[in-house]
Amino acid sequence: MFTKLNLVWIVAGRELRDQMRDWRVLAPMAILVFCFPLLMNEFAKQTVDFLNQYNANLILERLVPFSIMIIGFFPITVSLVVALESFVGEKERGTIEPLLSSPLEDWQLYFGKLLVGVATPLIASYLSIGLYMLLAMRQELNMPPPLIMFQLLLLTGAHAFLMVSAAIVISVQSTSVKAANLLASFIVIPVAILMQGEAVMLFWGNEQVLWLAIAGVTIIALLLIRVGIAHFHREYLLGREIDVVNVRWIWRTFWSSFIGGATSLKEWYGRVLGSALRRAVPAMLVLLLVSGVSVWLGYDWIMKNAAQAIKMASPEDIASITERVQEVPDLRTFSESISAPFLFLNNSRAVLFIFALGTVSFSVLGVLLYMVNIGLIGGLFGLFQLIGLNAWPLFIAGVLPHGVFELPALLIGSAAMLYFGANMVTPQVGKSMGEVILELLADWTKIFLGLVLPLLAIAALIETYITPSLLIAALQ
Amino acid sequence: MIETHDLSKQFHDFWAVDGVNLSVQSGQILALLGQNGAGKTTTVRMLTALLSPTRGWARVAGYDVVKNGRDVRASIGVLTEQHGLYMRMSANEYLEFFGQVYELSPQLRKSRSNQLLEYFGLAEAAHRRIGEYSKGMRQKLALARAMMHDPGVLLLDEPTSAMDPESARLVRDEIARLKSSKRTVVICSHNLVEVEELADQIGIIYRGKILTLGTLEELKLRVLGAPEYEVKFAQDWDSSRLELPAGVELLARTANSVQVRVERPQASNLEILNRLSAMSAPVMALQEQPRTLEQVYLKVMAEAKGYANVH
C-alpha cells in the first residue's frame, strides 16, 4: 500500500516542481498572497473607523472572520489554474501519453494531480490569511475566538477542496485548456454565491451553522472526486481531440435511449418505461426511508419550535396570524380561486426544480428539497396537534385523496433525480461522461413524462374538484 | 512478444483498425507502414493498453491488454508521436521521474539514466532544461525514457524522425542491439530505408486494415512478382537465339543485355548461365534488378486506392 501511495506522491511532486518553476503561476499567486492582505487590512481600518461612528458592534466583531474568508478565497481562484491544467494541459502539450502508458493506475494519477491542485491554493490561502492575521493583530482589531478561527481555516480548506475537485473533473473532460478556463466560471461563480450565504451565516448565525456549511461543502467535494474518478478513462482522455458540439450525436444518443426501440406507446410504457422504473427502484426505497425521516423531523421541529414561538408571540402577532388564516380561500369556491392547471404546473415545477438542484449537486440539494416538501406533512401534523385538532381526519380528507397520486409522483420524480445523481458518481465501463449523462437524462425524461406528469395531472384534478368537498365534510 | 487476433477499434461509425492479426516474436522487429491516419497509432495504443479493442484481442509480453493493462504497461516502453517531455525539467530529473514511476531502485535509476544519457550523447546536457534542447536531442531523450526500465517490448513511433544522420545511425544501432538482445520491437515509420534495414516483418496498413504483411523478400515476391535479373554482355550480341528455361520470362532485350523475370532463381539462373556459356555469349554480369520497399509500398497503396475508388 505504501508503494502505491508513494506513486501518488511522485506524480504530485513532479507536478508541484513544474508549477513552482512557472512564473505565470507564481507571479499572480505571489501578488495576491502578499498584496491582498495589505489591501484588506487597509479596508478593515477604514471600515472600523466608519462602524465605530454607529456602534455597529456585531459587524465590528465579525469583520476579521469575514475578511479571513474573503482573503482565503482569492488565492484559490487564481491557483485553480493548476488544477484546470492538470490533465488537459498535459494533453495539449503532448506529455500525457507517456504518463498514461506507464504502469501508474488511474487513481494514482488522479490523486497525484488532486494533491497538487489542492496543496497549491491551500498554501497560498493560508499564507495570505497568516499575513492578514499579523496585520490585523497590529491594528488591534477584534480577533475571532480559536473555534471560529479553526472553522474558517477548515472552511477555506473545504472551498479549495471543492473548487479543485470540480476543476479536475473539468480538466479530465475538456479537450483544450481554453475550454477548461471558460468552464472554470461554473466553479468560481457558484462558490462565490455560496460564500455570500456563508458570510450571512457568519454574521447572523452561530458555530453550528458554520459546521453545517463545512460538512456540506466537503460532501459535495467528495462527490465531485468520486465523479472524477468514475469518469476517468485513459481512452477518452486520448480519444477526444477537438471541441465540436455534435448535436446530431447528442440527439441520436438521447432519442435512441428514450425510445428504447419501442414501436408502440404500449410497448414503450410496458418495456422501456418499466425497465427505467426498475432501475430507479433502489432510489425509491432510499427516498421512502428519507420520507419517514423527513416527516418525523418536520413534526419534531414544529413541536420544539412552534410551541415556543406561540408562547412568545405578542397579541398583535396572533391577531395578524388569525387575519391571514381568514384570508384562506373559501373551500366551497376553491376550484374558482385555484385552478387544476395551476396546481398541475406548480407541482410539475416543484419536481423539475428538485431535478435541477439534484443535477448540480449530485442529488444532495435535490434530496434536501424533497425532504423539506415531505417534512411539511410532519410539520402540519405537529401544528394541528399544538392547536388541539385531530390531524388524522383532516389528513385523510384533505391530503390523502389527491396525495395518493401526488406523493408517489413526487417520490418517483425525486427517485429518478437520485438515480441520476447516484449514477453520475458510479463508474460506467465503456461509456464517455457525455453518453452517461444523455442516457440518464433519457431515463429521467421517460419517468417524468410517462408517469410523473400523468400522476400530477390526476392529483391536480382531484385536489381542485374533490378534496375541498371532502375537507369541508371533515371540518363539519 | 506480441500477438493479436482480429484486433479492431471503432470510433463512433468509423473503424480505425479493422481485423489486424500480428505475431511478433522475441528478437523480432515489426515495422508498420501507412499513411497518416491509417491506423498505426491506434494499433499501438491498443497494444499499450490505452485503448480497449472493440473486437478481437491482443497479448503483449504475455499479458492480455484488456485484463492486465497495468502489467502490459509495465512491460513495454513507448516512444510516442509527440515526445511528451516536460520542458522545465532537466534530462536527469526527467529520467529520474520515469524511473520512479516504473519503480526502479535508486541505484538502478542512476546507472540506467547515466548509461542512456551517455549512449545518446546527452550526458553533457543532462542538467540543462529540456526546453533548451534541439529537436533531435529531445527525440533521443524520449527514446531514453522509453528504454529506461529496460522493457521487453518497445513500441516506437518514428524513432529517428527529427534526427541528424549521425544520431539516426546511433538510434538504428541501438534498435538493432535491442533485437539481438531478444527484445520485441514495433516501429511505425515513414522512413522506408530505415525499415528495410531494421525490420524482420513489414506490415502495410491502409484504412485500418493490414493490406500485406511479411518479410521484405516475401513482400517483394508477393507484390512485385518474381525477381528480375539482367544479363549484361561485354559487347553487342544477338540474344534472340537464346532459349529461356521454364519459369523464366523475357521482359526486355537490347543489343548488349537481356532482362528476365525468374520464378526460381536458385535453379534457373545457373541454367541460363550454362546455356549462354554453351553459346559462347560474352557474359559480363548477371545481376538482380534492385527492387526497393518504396516500390512495394507505392504499388500496394496504388492498388488499395484503386480498389477503394472502385468500391
In the predicted model, is pLDDT for residue A334 greater than 70? no
Q: Confidence class of residue A49 from pLDDT cuts 50, 70 and 90?
A: confident
Q: Is A100's Cβ below 8 Å from some Cβ in B?
A: yes
Best of A101, A108, A113, A432 to mutate (most B CBs within 10 Å, chain B): A101
CB contacts, 8 Å: B82 with chain A: 94-95, 97
Answer with the one of A239, A258, A281 that is the final residue of a domain.
A239
Q: In 10 A of CB A57, how many CB atoms?
A: 11
Considering the domain architecture, whether residues A278 and A373 belong to the same structural domain is answered as yes
Considering the domain architecture, whether residues B18 and B163 belong to the same structural domain is answered as yes
Q: Where is average pLDDT lowest: A156-160, A235-239, A283-287?
A: A235-239
Considering the domain architecture, whether residues A187 and A316 belong to the same structural domain is answered as no
d(CA A361, CA B281): 93
**CA nearest to B156 within chain A:** A98
CB contacts, 8 Å: A22 with chain B: 88
CATH number of the domain at B14, please: 3.40.50.300
Q: Is B98's Cβ below 8 Å from some Cβ in A?
A: yes
Is B296 a domain residue? Answer: no
Per DSSP, chain B holds a count of helices (H) and strands (E) of 10, 14
Average pLDDT, chain B: 91
Instruction: Provide the residue range defining the domain that includes A233.
Output: 2-239
Considering the domain architecture, whether residues B155 and B274 belong to the same structural domain is answered as no
Q: Is A96's Cβ below 8 Å from some Cβ in B?
A: yes
* pTM for this entry: 0.78
Tell me whether residue A28 is exposed, middle or buried, using C-beta atoms within 10 angstroms of its C-beta: 0 to 12, 13 to 18, 19 or more: middle
CB contacts, 8 Å: A234 with chain B: 50
Considering the domain architecture, whether residues B249 and B160 belong to the same structural domain is answered as no
Considering the domain architecture, whether residues A254 and A145 belong to the same structural domain is answered as no
Considering the domain architecture, whether residues A92 and A184 belong to the same structural domain is answered as yes
Answer with the one of B221, B245, B280 that is the final residue of a domain.
B221
Considering the domain architecture, whether residues B11 and B80 belong to the same structural domain is answered as yes
Considering the domain architecture, whether residues A127 and A229 belong to the same structural domain is answered as yes
Q: Nearest by CB to B73, which of A18, A22, A103?
A: A103
Answer with the one of A239, A273, A295 that is the final residue of a domain.
A239
Q: Nearest by CB to A103, which of B45, B74, B80?
A: B74
Q: Nearest by CB to B88, which of A22, A234, A430?
A: A22
In the predicted model, is pLDDT for residue A103 greater than 80? yes
Considering the domain architecture, whether residues B209 and B232 belong to the same structural domain is answered as no
Considering the domain architecture, whether residues B70 and B119 belong to the same structural domain is answered as yes
Is B92 a domain residue? Answer: yes
Answer with the one of A176, A208, A239 that is the final residue of a domain.
A239
Cβ–Cβ under 8 Å, residues A78 and A35: no
CA distances from B234 to B238, B281, B283 (A): 12, 9, 6
Q: Is B100's Cβ below 8 Å from some Cβ in A?
A: yes
A469 vs B147, more confident: B147
Q: Is B171's Cβ below 8 Å from some Cβ in A?
A: no
What average pLDDT does the segment B229-252 reach? 90
d(CA A66, CA A143): 11
Q: Is B21's Cβ below 8 Å from some Cβ in A?
A: no
Considering the domain architecture, whether residues A134 and A192 belong to the same structural domain is answered as yes
Residues 53-72 of chain B whose Cβ lies under 8 A from any Cβ of chain A: 70-71
Considering the domain architecture, whether residues B280 and B181 belong to the same structural domain is answered as no
B82 to chain A nearest CA, in Å?
6
CB contacts, 8 Å: B74 with chain A: 103
Considering the domain architecture, whether residues A445 and A305 belong to the same structural domain is answered as yes
This complex has an ipTM of 0.85
Answer with the one of B221, B248, B277 that is the final residue of a domain.
B221
Is B294 a domain residue? Answer: no
| Contact between A14 and B86 using a beta-carbon 8 Å cutoff | yes
Say how many CA atoms lie within 13 Å of B236 toward its Cβ. Answer: 2
Average pLDDT, chain A: 85
What average pLDDT does the segment A128-153 reach? 86
A327 vs B128, more confident: B128
Residue B49 is given by DSSP the state: T
Q: Is A18's Cβ below 8 Å from some Cβ in B?
A: yes
Total domains in chain A come to: 2
Q: Is B104's Cβ below 8 Å from some Cβ in A?
A: no
* The residue to which cell 461509425 is assigned: B13
Q: Is B105's Cβ below 8 Å from some Cβ in A?
A: no
CB contacts, 8 Å: B76 with chain A: 101
Instruction: Provide the residue range defining the domain that includes B47.
Output: 2-221
B248 to chain A nearest CA, in Å?
52
Q: Nearest by CB to A105, which of B70, B78, B80?
A: B70
Tell me whether residue B309 is exposed, middle or buried, using C-beta atoms within 10 angstroms of its C-beta: 0 to 12, 13 to 18, 19 or more: exposed
In the predicted model, is pLDDT for residue A75 greater than 60? yes
A319 vs B177, more confident: B177
Answer with the one of B175, B191, B221 that is the final residue of a domain.
B221
Considering the domain architecture, whether residues A88 and A187 belong to the same structural domain is answered as yes
- What's the pLDDT at A244? 62
Is B303 a domain residue? Answer: no
CB contacts, 8 Å: B70 with chain A: 103, 105
* In chain A, % of residues over pLDDT 90: 32
What average pLDDT does the segment A381-401 reach? 80
Q: Is A101's Cβ below 8 Å from some Cβ in B?
A: yes
| Contact between A18 and B88 using a beta-carbon 8 Å cutoff | yes
| Contact between B86 and A95 using a beta-carbon 8 Å cutoff | yes
Q: Which helix (H) or strand (E) holds A116?
A: helix A106-138
Total domains in chain B come to: 2
Considering the domain architecture, whether residues A308 and A173 belong to the same structural domain is answered as no
In the predicted model, is pLDDT for residue B174 greater than 70? yes
Considering the domain architecture, whether residues B243 and B264 belong to the same structural domain is answered as yes
| Contact between A101 and B97 using a beta-carbon 8 Å cutoff | no
d(CA A147, CA A153): 10
- What's the pLDDT at A303? 86
Considering the domain architecture, whether residues B99 and B246 belong to the same structural domain is answered as no
Best CA proximity match to B282, nearest among B239, B230, B229, B228: B239
**CA nearest to B102 within chain A:** A103
In the predicted model, is pLDDT for residue B16 greater than 80? yes
Considering the domain architecture, whether residues B148 and B276 belong to the same structural domain is answered as no
Q: Is B88's Cβ below 8 Å from some Cβ in A?
A: yes
Considering the domain architecture, whether residues A346 and A393 belong to the same structural domain is answered as yes
Cβ–Cβ under 8 Å, residues B66 and B57: yes
Q: Is A98's Cβ below 8 Å from some Cβ in B?
A: yes
B222 vs A209, more confident: B222
Is B310 a domain residue? Answer: no
Best CA proximity match to B1, nearest among B156, B202, B189, B182: B182
Considering the domain architecture, whether residues B34 and B154 belong to the same structural domain is answered as yes
Considering the domain architecture, whether residues B86 and B168 belong to the same structural domain is answered as yes
Considering the domain architecture, whether residues A207 and A264 belong to the same structural domain is answered as no
B74 to chain A nearest CA, in Å?
5
What average pLDDT does the segment A240-266 reach? 82
